[in-house]
Structure 1
């Protein structure tokens, strides 16, 4: 049975609307840069992109309620290196990287690094809270079930999250310095944040 033109158009619209995160959700990132247009970032073969200090841009507003029910605004963390990890409790690569993030978050806090999760596409908080408990994730996570923060919090042409998991790192000035579109191990995570800790 063939679809009518109106039905095909409606289906296409639905697919496009779901597209930004679902195209590569829970997949490993490739070595391609995102954002389109004339960008100033470099992607290495491991799917980690970085931006030179003078070329960085600030994200949009990234604020809301955490899984624990408290208010959190990323802008309040300016002056620290901020590691934002986009994750979902349903995502196997997110589970694989969670112990590494929990460990590095504890060990780097004294060096001026703050970790913040952005929990997305979990329709209720229960599984996400269980995930945090299971993996001993002590840092807060913004609750973003519909993906609004992820979709609207990053300017076009910047290093933005395009998969789950994604990790975005802000420098001490609150500007986007690095992005990974894949699950990260401890050494890869440190490789991203250590140069930003050392920046003056």
Structure 2
């Protein structure tokens, strides 16, 4: 009796190849996995990983402008010549609330010592941002970026802030020198990144 050729091994091999190709794109992409989960936590959490960029490998200075929660405007030129820490956040983000006391303390430590802080609120209206800052006694301003995403776009060509919160350290030339992806879990690490960026100019 003639039997039809068995094609199961070939089919299985095809599936295996497809699975391998897909895993190459996403197996280590924890942010993508969180997005695909479709849960309702309202943010994609980073893992707190730190990326530092050597001075000779940094891109062009980041140029930006935006409107603060009080309605005034701000630009990258306002921070020319100093280290700038940019924190992407919004009020109902749990890790944003958790890191707020540390950011407040560190911003105050460096306020007169070579570094400024700037928030970028990616979701709220001004009233919510103001209430958050009052609750956590945060004195540095935040750009309200929910309407046009201009700040997120300005930084996307360098190290994309693809999780909230994300904290970037810009050197005195306005280039991205370091990133903390997710909650600032170790204040000491952020302090070191800022101090290193300040020291470069010295």
Give the structure-2-normalised TM-score.
0.74
Q: Of residues 120, 123, 130 in structure 1, which corresponds to 2:122?
A: 120
Asked whether the equivalents of residues 117 and 140 of structure 1 are also in contact (C-alpha less than 8 Å), the reply is yes
Q: How many residues align?
A: 164
Cα distance change of structure 1 residues 151 and 105 upon mapping to structure 2, 3 Å threshold:
closer
Deviation at 1:69, TM superposition (A): 1.1
Q: Partner residue of 2:159? A: 159
Q: Partner residue of 1:183? A: 183
Deviation at 1:55, TM superposition (A): 1.1
Q: Partner residue of 2:13? A: none
Structure 2 residues without counterparts, runs of 5 or longer: 1-30, 37-41
Q: Partner residue of 1:86? A: 88
Work out the CA distance in 2 between the residues paired with 1:59 and 1:110.
Answer: 23
User: Is 1:29 equivalent to 2:29 in the alignment?
Assistant: no
What are the equivalent positions in structure 2 for 1:121-160 lying under 5 Å apart?
Answer: 121-122=123-124, 124-146=125-147, 148-156=149-157, 158-160=158-160
Deviation at 1:150, TM superposition (A): 4.0
Work out the CA distance in 1 between the residues paired with 2:161 and 2:44.
Answer: 12
Cα distance change of structure 1 residues 47 and 134 upon mapping to structure 2, 3 Å threshold:
same
- Secondary structure of residue in 2 paired with 1:110: coil
Deviation at 1:181, TM superposition (A): 1.1
Q: Partner residue of 1:37? A: none
Rg comparison, structure with higher value: 2
Q: Provide the alpha-carbon RMSD of the alignment.
A: 2.3
Asked whether the equivalents of residues 65 and 143 of structure 1 are also in contact (C-alpha less than 8 Å), the reply is yes
User: Is 1:169 equivalent to 2:174 in the alignment?
Assistant: no
Deviation at 1:76, TM superposition (A): 2.2
Structure 1 residues without counterparts, runs of 5 or longer: 1-18, 31-45
- Which of the pair is proportionally richer in helix? 2
Asked whether the equivalents of residues 66 and 143 of structure 2 are also in contact (C-alpha less than 8 Å), the reply is yes
Asked whether the equivalents of residues 23 and 163 of structure 1 are also in contact (C-alpha less than 8 Å), the reply is no
Deviation at 1:103, TM superposition (A): 0.8
Asked whether the equivalents of residues 83 and 168 of structure 1 are also in contact (C-alpha less than 8 Å), the reply is yes
Deviation at 1:155, TM superposition (A): 4.5
Asked whether the equivalents of residues 66 and 141 of structure 1 are also in contact (C-alpha less than 8 Å), the reply is yes
